[in-house]
Structure 1
């Protein structure tokens, strides 16, 4: 999955010379986290809702401040960007490690073609885990040894059931948690076989889309 397939194309760019009043009106109307700041077609900064609100808290001349202050005075210079042909996981890593809410997406010429925001990742999360499909969620403990996940999937396969998603947590430790979503609400036979095979099942719940 690439950034281009999950980025928001409904974005607005502003200039360093634009007023904060213009930016504030846009982010309020569109419910944006922030906006890329562009000069000569290239990203030169990012201005976020927090950049504006944090400064408004320091003045009692709100309207005058918004009208008179330029974007260049409050924006984050030299912002991080990501290429549209990069994998979505890299965008998530950057935003998580750098603690940013908005990541401009650029093409091979470094021109803005979109943005990635936190809500975009919630959509990816829902899609990757198959949360909009009915089935059963099975949480179990799996030893961190070669072939253990294959054993889990083989048990599911024997029952003629499709795996919607499979996620592992805490890899690298002696035991890891695995969350398995299967395409059936009749999961008891699968759970029984998992237990019989030596896996510790922590939780089972039906998921209705």
Structure 2
């Protein structure tokens, strides 16, 4: 069996759940929520030219929302503090994805990179997904840790 490569297990960039860098947080949460059932735990953030510029992860979203006091009850403004927290949450609806996304670092793999090397890149970079580049250095897909885990699960299955 030939050695698997990044291109063999990547999610093509056109099929990856994505939002625009200019979308607001409310829209991004809706897109992420609808894509969770398809196995996506992050969104690719694209610029105007369709280039990958960042990732919006569930952790990134939770961190952004925690800044605005999610634990407060919006329905009861029993203090000035609660009143101002509600105002901040209202403003959060208009926060743009580009303000809170995790920018793409210089962590990429080539489409022909063998899977063990892809796994090493993910582990050493401490990321959960890595963009895959074609021969022209354009992002053509994303390998997620779950994609590598799927390959490992296949390898561990007993032969039939």
| TM exceeding 0.5 | yes
| Larger RCO (alpha carbons 8 Å, 6+ apart) | 2
Distance 2:60 2:146 in 1: 19
Residue in structure 1 matching 2:45, options 31, 37, 49: 37
Residue 3 of structure 1 pairs with residue 6 of structure 2: yes
On the 8 A contact 1:33/1:102 being kept in 2, the answer is no
Among 25, 30, 37, the residue aligned to 1:25 = 30
Deviations 1:62-102 (A, max 9, x none): 86355211111111224222222221222211111121112
Moved over 6 A (4+): none
Q: Structure 1: 5+ residue runs without aligned partners?
A: 135-209
1:122 partnered with 2:141: no
TM superposition score normalised by structure 1: 0.56
Query: Any unmatched runs of 5+ in structure 2?
Result: 70-85
Higher helix proportion (structure 1 or 2): 2
- Partners of 2:50 and 2:137 in 1: how far apart? 8
Residues in 1 aligned to 2:92 and 2:158: alpha-carbon distance in whole angstroms: 42
SS in 2 for 1:126: helix
Match of 1:104 among 98, 112, 131: 131
Q: Distance in 2 between matches of 1:67 and 1:110?
A: 35
Instruction: Give secondary structure in 1 for the equivalent of 2:19.
Output: coil
Correspondent of 2:102 among 62, 76, 79: 76
- Matches of 1:56 and 1:64 in 2, distance apart? 11
Please state how far the C-alpha of 1:52 moved relative to its aligned partner: 0.5
Quote the RMSD (CA, aligned, Å).
2.2
State the structure with more CA Rg: 1
Q: 2:120 aligns with which of 86, 89, 93?
A: 93
TM-score relative to the length of structure 2: 0.71
TM-aligned CA deviation for residue 38 of structure 1: 2.1
Of Structure 1 and Structure 2, the greater strand share is in 1
Q: Is the 8 A contact 1:17 1:71 kept in 2?
A: yes
